[in-house]
Structure 1
Amino acid sequence: MAQKRHLNNNISLVQLRPEDAEEMFPGLSDAKAYQFIPDIPPDTPETLRERYQMLASGGPPDAHEIWLNWVIRYGSNKVAAGYTQATITGKDALIGYHVFPAFWRKGIGSEAVTQTLENIFDRKDVTTARAFVDTRNTGSISLLEKLGFFRANTLENADFFKGQQSNEYEYILKKEIYLRHRHQKTL
C-alpha cells in the first residue's frame, strides 16, 4: 500500500487503549475545551480508564455500530494532543474530535480529522461522514468547511447545557467529494 501523504508529519493517530487514560487525563481536564459541548471533564484517571475500556471494545455486541477511537499523537515525542473518533453505522460515519487547548491553532485538528477521514473512507462500506457542531463554535465550523464538509442542516434547540440552549449545524461530507478534494490538494 502506498504511503499516505500527511500535511503535518508530526501528527499521528494511534488506536485508543485503556492505558492511555493517565496521559489523556490532564488534557481532558482543561475546562476551556468544553464551552461548546455538553460533556464535562473526567472526574479521575480511573473513571476515564473505565470509559476507554468500553470504547476500546469496538462497539456493542450486536455489531450495528463500529466504534473507532484514536489518540492524536503530536511532535517528536508523540505526546497526547487529543482524540478523534468515528461511529460507523451502515454507510455513515459520525465523527468527533477533541484537541486539547494547549495544542489549539497549530493545524493539529485539521490534520487529525483528515487522517480520521482517510481511515473511515478506506473502508469500502462507508460513503458519508457526518459531524455535528455547536453554531457558536467558529473554530470547528472553519475546520469542517476547510476539509470539504457542507452544512446540511441547522438543528434549533439541539441541546441544553451549561445554562444555555444550544443550536447545532449538521455537516456532511460524501466520500467522492472528499477523494476529489484530496486529489486536488496533491496536484
Structure 2
Amino acid sequence: MSLESQQLIYERVTRNHAKELEPILCDPKVYEHMDDGIGPTSDELLKAFTLREQGPSAHRHNETWVDYIVRDKASQIAIGRVEATVIEHRAEVAYILGTAYWRQGYGSEALVWLQDFVQEQYSVREFWATVTPGNEASKHLLLKQSYVEISNKPLPKVTSYDDGDWVFFRRAFW
C-alpha cells in the first residue's frame, strides 16, 4: 500500500522524528482536551518515539504498533502523527496534528489512510477510538468517518481507554 494520500505523506516513526515534531507535539494547545492538558517534554517525546520505534515489549506480545509521521506533500513539513495498536482483528486508532493544521481536512485524510493501511496489512475488522470528554472536534472527525459512540455499552479490552472517555467503534468496510 502507498505511504501517501492526496495531500499527505506518511513515514514510519523513528526516534529521529522527535526533534522535528517537538514544536507540534509538545505544544500545550494540542493537549487542551487530552492527557490532563499537559503535553510531553522534549525528553519524554524522544523516549516515546524510541519506544514506538522499538515496538511493544514482551508482555504485550499480542500487539502490533503502527506509528506514522504525517507530512504535508506540498511543503514536506511534518504536521503530526497517526497510530494504531492492532490486537487480533481490531485496531485502536489515534491521531494528533499541530494546531495550525486543524480544520483543514488533514485529520480526516490521515485517519482514512490509517484505517485502509491497517485493514489491508493486518486484516483488521474493527476500529476503536477514545476521546477525552470535551474534545468536540475529535468527536466530530470520528462521527464523520462513520464511527458510532458506544460509551455506555460494554466494551472490549480497549487499551487506550481512561475512565470517562468517549468510546467510538466502526466496522471495517470490505
TM-score by length of 1: 0.79
Q: Does 2:90 match 1:112?
A: no
Identity of aligned residues (%): 24
How many residues in Structure 1 have an aligned counterpart in Structure 2? 165
> Which residue number in structure 2 is paired with residue 174 of structure 1?
171
CA deviations on 1:81-140 (whole Å, 9 max, x unpaired) are 111100011111111111111111111101011111011111353211100112311111
Provide the C-alpha distance between the structure 1 equivalents of 2:3 and 2:72, rounded to a whole number of angstroms: 17
Q: Pick from 26, 29, 34 the counterpart of residue 37 of structure 1.
A: 34
Structure 1 vs Structure 2 CA RMSD: 2.3
> Which residue number in structure 1 is paired with residue 51 of structure 2?
54
Change beyond 3 A, Cα 1:83–1:154? farther
Gaps of 5+ in 2: 154-160
> Which residue number in structure 1 is paired with residue 149 of structure 2?
151
Change beyond 3 A, Cα 1:12–1:4? closer
Change beyond 3 A, Cα 1:154–1:101? farther
**Higher Cα radius of gyration:** 1
Provide the C-alpha distance between the structure 1 equivalents of 2:85 and 2:4, rounded to a whole number of angstroms: 24
Provide the C-alpha distance between the structure 1 equivalents of 2:39 and 2:147, rounded to a whole number of angstroms: 28
Per the TM alignment, residue 10 of structure 1 is displaced from its structure 2 partner at its CA by: 1.9
Gaps of 5+ in 1: 160-165, 180-187
Provide the C-alpha distance between the structure 1 equivalents of 2:130 and 2:91, rounded to a whole number of angstroms: 12
TM-score by length of 2: 0.84
Question: Where does 1:85-96 land on structure 2 (aligned, <5 Å)?
Answer: 85-96=83-94
Change beyond 3 A, Cα 1:42–1:125? same
Provide the C-alpha distance between the structure 1 equivalents of 2:70 and 2:116, rounded to a whole number of angstroms: 14
The runs of 4+ residues in structure 1 deviating greater than 3 Å are 3-6
Q: Please say if residues 4 and 10 of structure 2, whose CA atoms lie closer than 8 Å, have aligned partners that are also in contact.
A: no
